[in-house]
Amino acid sequence: MTTSLAAEPFATAPLMSAAELQSPALDPATISIADIRDPALRPIAIKLLARERLSATDGMALFETRDLHSLGMLAGSVRLARHGRNAFYNINRHINYSNICALSCKFCEFHRKRGEEGAYEYSAEKIFEMADQAALAGATELHIVGGLHPWLPFNWYTDLLTHLRRRHPKLHLKCFTAIEIDHFSRIARLSVKEVLIALKQAGLGSMPGGGAEVFDDRVHDEVFKGKLRSDGWLDIHRTAHELGLRTNATILYGHIETRRERIEHLIKLRELQDAAPGFQCIIPLSFVPDGSELAHLPGPTGLEDIKMLAVSRLMLDNFPHVKAFWIMQTMKLSQVSLNFGVDDLDGTVVWYDITKREGGLGNRHQEQTVDNIRRLIVEAGYLPVERDTLYRRVERNPTGWHIA
Ligand code: V47
């Protein structure tokens, strides 16, 4: 497969505005230093009011505090300065096209080998059908990711995007983690840049943030050996940003990593955003042990979830958004997290294969209705705003939707 570099779709305008990248001026009325009980948090509040960047030591103090109220006040203040009382959600559909994967990461319950019980791969026709259903349900986004399929050729993926784009020109295609992009580069014998150009020409709109896990060699070698290392993940997102693609970032926390390693992960993301902006949001993914090789671990507590979301908001001063992916944090905690720095709850999702919790729906059908998402946001005192993948406001009328 060859790719025309002459037709290279380079970014012509800055990908992110200065307002998106800058740490905002806080409203002093939203921070009351006198009310901060933990003395370790007071110098952090002063730094935030002065729009100074937080250090790794500050990050650790935020994790270690028992003064949850003040942590919420600090993260909430940054969130209010950036987004006011807006809380974003989208109408989307996740499509996990196959769980057949060349890797066997210990944290992952999703992966199967071909022929193993539970292994599946959707045909392109099945994916078109799912896209048709999503479009009919009013979705603005398809989030398409899967395992590293050992045999599908690269043109299967470009053809998939080309046909989806033709069939549903309005649906944003947010597809393929950096791990899949690296895999495509190997199977197609193309550079990462050529792969991204080919996918962009086929209809790729942006990249999701998956596959980052924890940017640390110790954790990598113990839990996801064989997977792309942190420098590879970061390089792929850098290349995507340079080509004019916005991307998201994740961190998978609550397994064998330390809090210090999490902070270092966030700092690496912050540094890349300074050097090559293009990240829209951080999605801290709360580890779900069920069914994985790490099922003996307890997984993060609610308190740790809330802290991780708040610390992400405070450390990532150049990231516009913090998303609680309710599939991982649960919808109840995601609602509470709106007071701890979170401004986005992801979306309706519908089907999600990568993690399945026991109990509840207990299967792959994991769906929120728009009415429920809006109800929870309003109850928490925020204004529900439907967004598209690029965080533009979506307006609806009886005949369809458009970007405001
Ligand atoms: O890459 C795998 C993680 C990710 C488990 O970009 C697990 O908008 C928890 O990246 N427990 C996929 N997490 C999900 C993802 C994502 C989700 C929502 C929105 C966006 C976005 C991205 O899920 C994987 C991996 O890091 N994961 N296994 C587990 N047991």
Which residue(s) pair with 383 in the sheet? 86
pLDDT category at 357 given cuts 50, 70, 90 is: low
3-state SS, residue 61: helix
- pLDDT of 23-39, one tens digit each? 899 999 999 999 999 99
Measured in Å, residue 177 CA sits from the centre of ligand 1 at 10
Residue 266 CA to ligand 1 centre (angstroms): 16
Residue whose entry in the numeric block shows the structure tokens 């026991």: 358
The CB of 179 under 6 Å from ligand 1? The reply is no
Give the tokens for residue 324: 């609680």
Q: Is the CB of 175 under 6 A from ligand 1?
A: no
188 lines ligand 1 (CB under 6 A): no
Q: CA 48 → CA 85, 119, 162, distances in Å?
A: 19, 49, 46
Cβ–ligand 1 contact at 285 (below 6 Å): yes
Strand order in the sheet with 321-322: 92-96, 141-145, 172-175, 206-207, 246-253, 279-286, 321-322
Query: β-strands 92-96, 141-145: how paired?
Result: parallel
- Nearest-CA residue for ligand 1 atom 10 is 210
CA distance 354 to 360: 16
Q: How far apart are CA 317 and CA 266, in angstroms?
A: 10
More confident residue, 375 or 349: 375
Q: Please say if the pLDDT value at position 296 is more than 90.
A: yes
Q: What pLDDT is attached to residue 5?
A: 43
d(CA 188, CA 171): 26
Question: What is the C-alpha separation between 17 and 84, in angstroms, rounded?
Answer: 18
Domain boundaries, the chain: 20-80, 84-403
Query: Does 1 have pLDDT greater than 80?
Result: no
* Tens digits of residue pLDDT in 93-108: 999 999 999 998 999 9
Per cent of the chain over pLDDT 70 is 95
Under the banding of pLDDT at 50, 70 and 90, the label for residue 6 is very low
pLDDT reading at 314 higher than 60:
yes
Mean pLDDT for 386-401 is: 95
Asked if 362 and 403 touch (Cβ cutoff 8 Å), the reply is no
Total count of residues recorded for the chain = 404
Q: Quick one: which of 138, 214, 137, 202 has its CA closest to 176?
A: 202
The rounded distance, in Å, linking the Cα atoms of 243 and 245 is 6
Tell me the three state secondary structure of residue 90.
strand
Q: Supply the pLDDT for residue 367.
A: 78
Q: How remote is the CA of residue 381 from the centroid of ligand 1, in Å?
A: 28
Look at residue 188 and give its three-state secondary structure: helix
Atom 6 of ligand 1 has which residue's CA nearest to it?
208
Strand (E) positions, 176-271? 206-207, 246-253
Residues paired with 282 in a beta bridge: 249, 322
**Is the distance from the beta carbon of residue 368 to the nearest atom of ligand 1 less than 6 Å?**
no
Pairing of strands 86-90, 383-386: parallel
pLDDT of 8 higher than 70: no
Residue-level pLDDT at 110: 87
Asked if residue 249 has its Cβ within 6 Å of ligand 1, the reply is no
Closest Cα to atom 27 of ligand 1: 108
d(CA 74, CA 339): 10
Among 286, 195, 211, which Cα is nearest to 243's?
A: 195
Confidence of residue 255 (pLDDT cuts 50, 70, 90): very high
Q: Does residue 360 have a pLDDT over 50?
A: no
Q: What is the atom index within ligand 1 of the atom nearest the CA of 207?
A: 6
CA atoms within 13 Å, Cβ hemisphere of 182: 22
Say which CATH superfamily domain 84-403 falls into. Answer: Aldolase class I (3.20.20.70)
Q: How far is the CA of 143 from the centre of ligand 1 (A)?
A: 11
Q: Is the pLDDT of residue 356 over 90?
A: no
What is the distance between the alpha carbons of residues 50 and 141, in angstroms, rounded to a whole number? 38
Asked whether residue 2 carries a pLDDT value surpassing 90, the answer given is: no
pLDDT of residue 198: 98
Q: Average pLDDT of 183-195?
A: 98
Angle at 214 between CA 93 and CA 315, to 5 degrees: 90
Q: What pTM value is reported for the model?
A: 0.95
* Residue 252 CB–ligand 1 contact under 6 Å: yes
User: What's the rounded Cα separation, in Å, for the pair 67 and 71?
Assistant: 6
**Of the candidates 230, 318, 251, which has an alpha carbon nearest to the alpha carbon of residue 280?**
318
Mean predicted confidence (pLDDT) in 57-78: 98
* Three-state secondary-structure class, residue 387: strand
pLDDT of residue 13: 63
